[in-house]
Amino acid sequence: MSEVMEPLLTSSLRNRTKSVHGKLDEHLMGMGLFSDKEKYKIFLTLQYYIHRDADHLYSNSNLSAIIPNLHLRNRFVKVKEDMQDLGVTIPSPIQPPVITNTSSAIGSLYVVEGSKLGAKYLLHHVGMIGLSDEYGARHLGADSEGRGTSWRSFQSAIDSAKIDIPVAVKAAEQTFERVFSHLQNITG
């Protein structure tokens, strides 16, 4: 009798969120948010809301026990520095989601941490409008250990943790939907 393999969490998250992730990427690129600094400010405001929503997760002791150097992964301060560089006003507060368990928190962090992989591509685009990981686009820069190493470390940590996969997947889907909601609030 062969042993049935449990699916890895990150594989489940990637497969189940592929459609909504693709729609979000397509929508953002279709808006031309990286074609000039004024449009980029919309993206930066969106990043503010995304990272504000996740900010408290990076200091959560249960998550810190699972994910190495969790507090160093947080990009919220860098987003605010980027906003200051470009004179973007901090937007009105919106109540962040209430995340009640570790599995949900991991699902949400998967979305935020995963965005660092695509940030390399975005950093290239914003370079054409005079921004960099030292001015206006710090939050798109790589973690100190490098993008690939940082992602593999995160992936390994969550794949080896005891996480309720359906709960994590639902939280990841909700996080992507919340990004769309933030974008709607910003653009009207």
Q: What is the predicted pLDDT for the residue at 95?
A: 85
| Model confidence pLDDT, tens digit, residues 43-62 | 999 999 999 999 999 999 99
Q: What is the predicted pLDDT for the residue at 146?
A: 93
Domains of the chain: total: 1
Residue 3 belongs to some domain of the structure: no
Q: What is the mean pLDDT of the chain?
A: 93
Q: Is 78:141 a contact under the CB 8 Å cutoff?
A: yes
Residue 29 belongs to some domain of the structure: yes
Residue 4 belongs to some domain of the structure: no
Cα separation, 183 vs 47, in Å, equals 10
pLDDT above 70 as % of the chain: 96
Q: What is the predicted pLDDT for the residue at 4?
A: 44
Residue 180 belongs to some domain of the structure: yes
What is the DSSP code (8-state) at residue 74? -
Residue 115 belongs to some domain of the structure: yes
Query: What is the domain extent for residue 46?
Result: 9-187
| Model confidence pLDDT, tens digit, residues 77-118 | 999 999 999 999 999 888 888 887 999 999 999 999 999 999
Residue 133 belongs to some domain of the structure: yes
Residue 2 belongs to some domain of the structure: no
CATH number at residue 51: 1.20.910.10
